[in-house]
Amino acid sequence: LGRLTARETADHRTEYRHNTLSLEIRRATRAEWRNALLEEREPHWDAVLIFTRNAAGELVSEENHGGKFEYEYDALGNLSSTRFPDGRELASLRYGTGHLLEMQLRHGGATHTLAAYGRDRLHREIFRSQGALSQETHYDTAGRVTQRTVLDARRELVFERRYRWDRTDQIVQQIHTDATPATPGEKYSQYLWGYDAAGQVTRVVGPQKEERFFWDAAGNRTEEHRNPVWHNLLLRLDGLKLDYD
């Protein structure tokens, strides 16, 4: 079948044991494996991993030195539950074709909501809550994100990002607002992008610096404008020297 069954390195031998619905990966030192071979016994494996799948090919369990992890799926194949060796369960509540509504942690009969999601009629995320924080997302008529705002439990601003796009869906401006900046001058910051006709980034302007990028006609990045890259093999860029075999 062409499946990998063993691999050896200078220090270890790893064996892959394939069964109909499972795969066992076992690793031992080369010295231990040689001794076991001479003594006609099973090696003392220093690591064992066991992966089990169901008839649909979905991973349903994983065993390692930490214990056994178990996974459940809904009828559409979306992961719905992960059970950890200590008994905790991470559950995903979904609707429709798998749109995530809530993440829950269940343990000892108690259920804790880790994150909850609100969606619009197009099933896009427009609201998310995680603990004391919440995030609101806005889109333009083309479906592009135009604003993300994070608020605390008192509905006060934590930070905000605003985005502006060109007609070809390339981001051209990003404005940051941070409620608790390291310095007063960092409360507001702006990033700008410029592109050539081929959609390649030619300019990035940030709060502290401006970068420019040059490309040849074949789309290879160069150090200077109209500096071609012969045979598509870049030799120098930003102080780096590149060699090829």
CA-wise closest residue to 99 among 72, 80, 81 = 80
From first to last of the 245 residues of the chain, give the pLDDT tens digit.
Answer: 899 999 999 999 999 999 999 999 999 999 999 999 999 999 999 999 999 999 999 999 999 999 999 999 999 999 999 999 999 999 999 999 999 999 999 999 999 999 999 999 999 999 999 999 999 999 999 999 999 999 999 999 999 999 999 999 999 999 999 998 888 888 999 999 999 999 999 999 999 899 999 888 778 788 776 566 677 777 767 767 777 77
Plot region of 169 (φ>0 → left; ψ -120 to 50 → alpha; else → beta): left
The SS3 assignment for 227 reads: coil
CA-wise closest residue to 221 among 244, 192, 196 = 196
The SS3 assignment for 30 reads: helix
